[in-house]
Amino acid sequence: MIGNRMRPVVAGLNGAVASAHPLASQVGLDVLRGGGNAVDAIVATAAALNVVEPYMSGVGGVGFLLLHLADGETKVLNFSGNTPAAATPDRFTPETQDRGPSSCLIPGNVAGWLEALERHGTKSATDVFAPAIAMAEDGFPLHPLNARMIETALPRLNEAGQKVYGSVSPQIGAILRQPDLAKSLRAIARNGADYFYRGPLALTITDYIQAQGGLLSRDDLAGYEPTWEEPVGINYRGVDVKTCPPNCEGFQILQTLKLIEAADLQSLGHNSAEYIQLLSEAIKLATADRIEWCGDPNFIDIPLDRLLSEEYIATRRESMNKETASRSEGERWRGLRSQEIVSPGKVDGLTTHLSAVDAQGNVASITQSLGNGFGSGVVVPETGITLNNFVYWTEIDPACPTPNLIAPGKRWTCCMSPVQVFRDGRFWFSIATPGSYGILHTTVQMLLNIVEFGADPQLAIEAPRFRLYEDTKMQIEDRVPVDVRNDLTARGHELELLGDFSLMVGGGQSVMIDPQSNARLAGADPRRDGYAVAY
């Protein structure tokens, strides 16, 4: 119904792991085989990705965990970082917001990984971090995306970073060793989160950042804690879809689904012009609402119940243009909207995703990131730690009226949005992707491929997809048929062809428990170096 595949879905009786790199996925699977649960496996995979995807994620980054436990509870661990206490709009220019020592939020990954492990894992941090430490110390051979990304993002790095990543030839099979990172990971595993946030490593990081003119301070690190939260969700055609609450922007995914729920998508046909027209218009409306309303709930009230209510959705549906492309503001706030731009309703880089499911039925899904390639470009000397640049994803113009205007101690409005889907009260599948604001477009498309068109996780991920930008711009993969693309152009969509498989539309990962057989299924995206494994 959807098309041909490049890879088979991976299946096993006991457990499965999907991540953006085959070596990291294998680390997670080894943990499951060794008696660990899904939380042990996901943390081991997350730490391994720091080594084998150092430009995407690591201890200097931030993220979210969406966790479903075998006892039926589903919960969120938010470790998406906060702005430093000195972070006010006047402290930034567009250049310092994007790159350099002022562009980082307080890193949350270490706190998140270790909190999840302590609360719901079964193994020690020393055991779970051991494979990542070994790969950092002994080295690993570069895979295709490794070589491409290191070559592309190398100019962002400071001298300490150039010393590490400029020392390896950016070609497949070259060996990358990261001994300083191994040392830091070993110290964190042995000494716990305090070592990173309040101990010697905290002093090394903040003293360096302060000396470089950055904002991150000892007090910023010392005061950081991740938070457990309740997921938000909707019912879509009889299945329950859950994601992380704001400051996560995942409610855009939920709202998009509700906007199209009244349509017969199967009769439209997968990736027909009519289907893409309808879905793209829903995305544009939900994007406008997300820009207008999403923020840190510690700073602003967010009318989430209203935004997802049947009454409000029915009103917004009336604004959907079913024939021609509406003009969109784009992915984020760009100043005052013109009257021709899709408006919000009235209400009274580079990232990575990973998932694990175990034999007991625990499912852990993490999306984590450094931001752009190598984040801020700041590697703290002698630590191997690259810091994120998520100040870039905040607004620094004091005239910005949206909740994402930067302020001290505030969490950014975060596009990382792991999703889990439940049928008849039981976990069915998890699916998500990296891809900046495109996460909120791609995840919907992959989810619909399963729910509406019966795809398995691998086929759902491989299917061709699109991404929207400002005005009527749409990036679209060439595998969408020519006649469909011509129809979309006639409707006013300004198309940019991406080739058959493109990084620009993400790199999804998924795990599933088959409702009939109880088998563990998994899929990973060939657009990057993703691999799924099972046993």
* Catalytic annotation, pick one of 351, 367, 442, 472: 351
CA 482 – CA 480 distance, rounded (Å): 7
pTM (two decimals) = 0.96
Q: What is the mean pLDDT of residues 374-398?
A: 96
Cβ-contact 206, 378 below 8 angstroms: no
Find residue 510's DSSP bridge partners: 431, 523
Q: What is the mean pLDDT of residues 197-221?
A: 98
Q: What pLDDT score does 343 carry? A: 52
Cβ-contact 288, 252 below 8 angstroms: no
- Bond preceding residue 247 cis, omega within 30 of 0: yes
Average pLDDT, the chain: 95
Task: Give the tens place of pLDDT for each residue, 460-510.
Answer: 999 999 999 999 999 999 999 999 999 999 999 999 999 999 999 999 999
Give the rounded percent of residues in the chain with a pLDDT score beyond 70: 97
Task: Give the tens place of pLDDT for each residue, 217-233.
Answer: 999 999 999 999 999 99
Binned at pLDDT 50, 70 and 90, residue 334 comes out as: confident
Q: Is the pLDDT of residue 450 over 70?
A: yes
Q: Is the pLDDT of residue 346 over 90?
A: no
Task: Based on the residue annotation, tell me whether 351 is a catalytic residue of this protein.
Answer: yes
Helix (H) or strand (E) holding 365: strand 363-371
CATH of domain 229-350+417-534: 3.60.20.40
Tell me which of 157 and 350 has the higher pLDDT.
Answer: 157
107-121, 337-351, 453-467: least confidently modelled range: 337-351
The tokens of 23 are what? 């070596």
Give the contacts of 460 (CB within 8 A, at least 6 positions apart).
2, 431, 446, 447, 449, 450, 508, 510, 523
CA angle 79, 84, 90 (to 5 degrees): 135
Q: What pLDDT score does 349 carry? A: 53
Q: Is the pLDDT of residue 341 over 70?
A: no
CA 15 – CA 29 distance, rounded (Å): 8
Task: Give the tens place of pLDDT for each residue, 288-314.
Answer: 999 999 999 999 999 999 999 999 999
Q: Compute CA 399 distance to the chain's CA centroid, rounded to the nearest angstrom.
A: 28
Cβ-contact 400, 225 below 8 angstroms: no
Pairing of strands 473-476, 385-386: unpaired
Give the rounded percent of residues in the chain with a pLDDT score beyond 90: 94
Tell me how long the chain is. Answer: 535
Measured CA to CA in angstroms, residue 374 lies from 54, 330, 383, 472, 525 at distances of 7, 25, 15, 31, 21
Q: How far apart are the first and last CA of the chain?
A: 28
Q: What pLDDT score does 347 carry? A: 46
Q: What pLDDT score does 344 carry? A: 54
Q: Is the pLDDT of residue 445 over 70?
A: yes
Task: Give the tens place of pLDDT for each residue, 234-284.
Answer: 999 999 999 999 999 999 999 999 999 999 999 999 999 999 999 999 999
Q: What pLDDT score does 345 carry? A: 55
Measured CA to CA in angstroms, residue 311 lies from 232, 314, 315, 317 at distances of 18, 5, 6, 10
Domain ranges of the chain: 229-350+417-534
Q: What pLDDT score does 5 carry? A: 87
| Tally of CB atoms within 10 A around 285 | 25
Q: What is the mean pLDDT of residues 42-65?
A: 97
Binned at pLDDT 50, 70 and 90, residue 33 comes out as: very high
Nearest to 57 by CA among 388, 377, 384: 388
Q: What is the mean pLDDT of residues 14-24?
A: 97
Q: What pLDDT score does 339 carry? A: 55
Binned at pLDDT 50, 70 and 90, residue 3 comes out as: confident
CA angle 50, 535, 76 (to 5 degrees): 50
Nearest to 72 by CA among 257, 240, 238, 253: 240
Measured CA to CA in angstroms, residue 423 lies from 61, 368, 430 at distances of 33, 26, 12
Task: Give the tens place of pLDDT for each residue, 76-102.
Answer: 999 999 999 999 999 999 999 999 999
